[in-house]
A and B are shown apart, each in its own frame.
Chain A
Amino acid sequence: SAVISQKPSRDICQRGTSLTIQCQVDSQVTMMFWYRQQPGQSLTLIATANQGSEATYESGFVIDKFPISRPNLTFSTLTVSNMSPEDSSIYLCSARTGLQVGTEAFFGQGTRLTVV
């Protein structure tokens, strides 16, 4: 199993600023991901955080807006850049410990972001 700690747990930010969310896993994991969960909606995958290389972004998400780092097997950051009210959402870090398709994904408690 894996325990994921995210911080901050919530923040209120001014439009035009940037926020960096940190994700720490208590053990080495194979894969790390970042999701967005908009109010009343499902989870949408933003990107897969790759250790030591550029993240793999899903359609509709770009590196300039959501730069991601993963310097080692237990830590990743997501930055939400040049924020607008439309970025208000819950951002979730996730990790998998194996490569088999049935492997469980673990989630952090999320960062609730409000942009004003």
Chain B
Amino acid sequence: GNSVTQMEGPVTLSEEAFLTINCTYTATGYPSLFWYVQYPGEGLQLLLKATKADDKGSNKGFEATYRKETTSFHLEKGSVQVSDSAVYFCALTEYSGAGSYQLTFGKGTKLSVIP
């Protein structure tokens, strides 16, 4: 079956530091890849996505590139802010037949940014 592995947290960074959260996946076909973010007390919201190899998703200064050869989708940001403190989930969707598009999530990485 499909699976997503992302780096364990929590991650604590100082403001303006560089962020990398690693994500690798296992899929039987050709999935679409996502990063979702969950701010404290809120539901998940899409941060960025990529639907084919070598695509780069970007939003709010975050970037991730779909690397089929390494089955990875690492999240990066050049300069984090306190407002980026949240839990980040890597996920994939693959068509699994009979109209089913199950989202498979990683375990989440909690990021805390301190001033």
Say if the beta carbon of A104 comes within 8 Å of chain B: yes
Q: Are the C-beta atoms of A107 and B43 separated by less than 8 Å?
A: yes
Give which listed residue, B41, B105, B107, contacts A109 with CB less than 8 A: B41
Say if the beta carbon of A96 comes within 8 Å of chain B: yes
Question: Once the chains are docked, how many angstroms separate the CA of A4 from the CA of B14?
Answer: 34
SS of A interface (majority): strand
Residues of A within 8 A of B94 (CB): 101
Q: Which of A41, A42, A104, A108 has the most CB of B within 10 A?
A: A42
Mark B residues whose CB is within 8 Å of A.
Answer: 31-32, 34, 36, 41-46, 49, 51, 89, 93-95, 99-103, 105-108
Residues of A within 8 A of B44 (CB): 43, 92, 107
Residue of B nearest to A104 (CB): B46
Nearest CB in chain B: distance from A78 CB, A: 15
Q: Are the C-beta atoms of B108 and A42 separated by less than 8 Å?
A: yes
Question: Once the chains are docked, how many angstroms separate the CA of A112 from the CA of B34?
Answer: 25
Question: Once the chains are docked, how many angstroms separate the CA of A94 from the CA of B42?
Answer: 13
Question: Once the chains are docked, how many angstroms separate the CA of A107 from the CA of B44?
Answer: 6
Known: A42-B105, A102-B51, A104-B49. A109 touches B42 (CB 8 A): yes
Q: Are the C-beta atoms of B43 and A102 separated by less than 8 Å?
A: no
Say if the beta carbon of A76 comes within 8 Å of chain B: no
Q: Are the C-beta atoms of B101 and A101 separated by less than 8 Å?
A: yes
Question: Once the chains are docked, how many angstroms separate the CA of A6 from the CA of B44?
Answer: 13
Known: A31-B101, A43-B105, A45-B103. A105 touches B89 (CB 8 A): no
Residues of A within 8 A of B41 (CB): 109
